[in-house]
Structure 1
Amino acid sequence: MGYSSFLLISILFLTVVLNVANGQPLVPAMFLFGDSSLDVGNNNHLLTVVKANFPPYGRDFENHIPTGRFSNGKLPIDFAAETFGFTSYPPAYLNLKIKGNNLLYGANFASAGSGYSSLTSKLDGSISLNKQLEYYMEYQKELVSIAGPNASSIISGALYLIGAGTCDFMQNYFVNPLLKKLYTVDQFSDILIGYCSNFIQNLYALGARRIVLITIPPIGCFPAAITIFGLHSNECVPWMNSAALNFNKKLNTISQDCRKMLPGINLVILDTYQTLYDMVTKPSDYGFFEVRKGCCGTGVLETVLLCNHKSIGTCANASKYVFWDSIHPTEAANKILADDLIAAGKSLIS
């Protein structure tokens, strides 16, 4: 990290501390849309096998309770919410217990297994982004009934996070012979980019102005990806990472186009690819020693239902692992990813 980058982060951190010290969150609310990287329990309420509401998921979370988060503990958004001054995390919208005043501080609409393509969500019964947007519209009506005239300032001042695309490739394109026959990976990326652009425009029309668009991580470095597609190699799968990088590059075009088309929008691209890739390729720099397998079970294939309390071989100390299961990062890795998220969010606030 260069001196200028260190200085910027230090200034941002100091600003956060001073604002939070005044007892108010830096933004009035947080809203989250996307997949398992953001889901905090919406899938608990769905007829789907893509859930994480059972041990050992959540074993290092508050009170050691599995909440539906796909990790042993906190997600990056949890760390961000704490830093931004919230006393509780944006709750899963489908959790009926969170209705009422809790909605004043935002909501989480993300659903594990979701993608920019509605077809991706249909494969495992998750909530499509279009449906997540419908839930957000429903939320706005509830917010108006609670907050009255203050609802508009909450909506316009809130921080919006969008994180999807991984499942479109991992659970759809890469394993769907028909899609691969119809489209090249570049053409499929273009289709997803179109869906992403439309989603942002629709969110903007509903009042969103501060948006963080999260890139796809290095999917070829997931232990499950190496096991299935790595041809007996222990290295990241290059062609999968190339697909992710190609898609991420196109996200930058979305950012430029949106600034031209949508007056007043403040949109930043959060690059999670490079940070996670660095953790995998230079683990000792971050205090990790295991990157080829996740902590849960053997760590090479276990995820979702296969990662359970009977999984043999689950590690005792997940903080030394980059991955919790064969796809999702540990809390320790998520804390590092959160630093980038916090900096991106702060750039939209100042």
Structure 2
Amino acid sequence: MKFQVLLIALVLIAIEANAAKQGKNATIPALIVFGDSIMDTGNNNNLPTLLKCNFPPYGKDFPGGSATGRFSDGRVPSDLIAEKLGLAKTLPAYMNPDLKPEDLLKGVTFASGGTGYDPLTAQMMSVISVWDQLIYFKEYISKIKKHFGEEKAKDILENSFFVVVSSSNDLAHTYLARALTYDRTSYPNFLADTAVQFVRELYKLGARRIGVFSAVPVGCVPLQRTVFGGLLTRGCNHLLNNMAKQFNSRLSPALDSLDKELDGVILYIDVYETLYDMIQYPKKYGFEVADRGCCGKGTLAISYLCNAFNPFTCTNSSAYIFWDTYHPTERAYQVIVDSLLDKYLKKLY
């Protein structure tokens, strides 16, 4: 009888230990982000580029009203996802010179506004390419090992959520420079293949939970409407949206195959349909304006054209889907993150 009681006790201890182990493995210790202005929280601030936003009215709805280098009125998806994961309310930019070692533990963003999967995009914009972001990521892991040890670095690599967001700048700008080499189908395919290659390289460096955002309906951003949508109608640039959809149709099955091939979780995160629906039916989501940005007159203002001297900037950013003529407001980002992340985060555990 005593032997049976002892045996049951040992089994219960083993079950409890295994459950604790699974709970520990299910914890996401950090958020690591790569990509463009959607996820940049200030990496462009000290770069020799025109693509900056570390001045008012950018950041007018950020805590403290600070213009931090986020391309929005407030926080961006890097921050909102970090908050969703219970890590922090804001995610630091890796290039911030004031970062301390302990600031690295919950994760960082390497994203650089204006970059893309196509290396030419970063060259044209004088920003950090996604491939150089991988180099900085290696440096980041070395710092974690140096200050917190090999086990902590292993935990971050194996259990963190890695997010990749790019393609908009490639499609909207760089394609024009590539048009003699690619057509409107082959270029998005090239970008999708490059995105898959990027995920493979990230996996080789130890990442195991990777989410890749789809292209967005970039043809519907206010700047595209102003330039290509017709003087009076300012409709969406459907040719550009079709390229985005072509990119997505190539990327989605490729990532699904990669998920089956590799030991880990590789997610394709579809943001196209949600944002497009918001733009087509803004009142459904509580917005009033979808075809103009809040900053200035909302037709061309972006970066230095969106400045504190522009008298036309709206007072209620949350009524607008777009902050400037390219980037959504914090509230629009929040709607997207809330609608998507619950669905996809379940797959990480």
How high is the TM-score relative to the length of structure 1?
0.89
Matching residue's letter, 1:89: T
* 2:269/2:344 contact within 8 Å kept: no
SS in structure 1 at match of 2:310: coil
1:166 matched to 2:168: yes
Distance 2:318 2:29 in 1: 32
- 1:309 is matched with 308
* 1:296/1:307 contact within 8 Å kept: yes
Worse overlay, 156-165 or 222-231: 222-231
Superposed, 1:66-145 pairs within 5 Å as 66-145=67-146
Worse overlay, 86-95 or 321-330: 86-95
* 1:39/1:109 contact within 8 Å kept: yes
- 2:157 is matched with 155
Distance 1:190 1:280 in 2: 26
* 2:70/2:76 contact within 8 Å kept: yes
- 2:199 is matched with 200
Identity of aligned residues (%): 38
1:146 Cα deviation after fit: 1.6
Worse overlay, 40-49 or 331-340: 331-340
Distance 1:180 1:171 in 2: 11
Distance 1:99 1:198 in 2: 32
1:282 Cα deviation after fit: 0.4
The structure that has the greater radius of gyration is 2
User: 1:172-229, CA deviations, whole angstroms, 9 ceiling, x for partnerless residues?
Assistant: 11x33xx212211111112112211111011001111111100111111101001111
1:181 matched to 2:183: no
Distance 1:260 1:324 in 2: 39
Worse overlay, 339-348 or 286-295: 339-348
Worse overlay, 139-148 or 56-65: 139-148
- 1:45 is matched with 46
Distance 2:82 2:201 in 1: 25
* 1:212/1:344 contact within 8 Å kept: no
RMSD (CA atoms): 1.7
1:90 Cα deviation after fit: 2.5
* 1:76/1:341 contact within 8 Å kept: no
Please, which runs of 5 or more residues in structure 2 have no aligned partner? 1-22
* 2:222/2:299 contact within 8 Å kept: yes
* 1:159/1:210 contact within 8 Å kept: yes
- 1:226 is matched with 225
- 1:35 is matched with 36
- 1:245 is matched with 245
* 1:267/1:348 contact within 8 Å kept: no
How high is the TM-score relative to the length of structure 2?
0.89
Please, which runs of 5 or more residues in structure 1 have no aligned partner? 1-21
User: 1:58-79, CA deviations, whole angstroms, 9 ceiling, x for partnerless residues?
Assistant: 0000100011111001112322
Distance 2:154 2:113 in 1: 29
* 2:228/2:234 contact within 8 Å kept: no
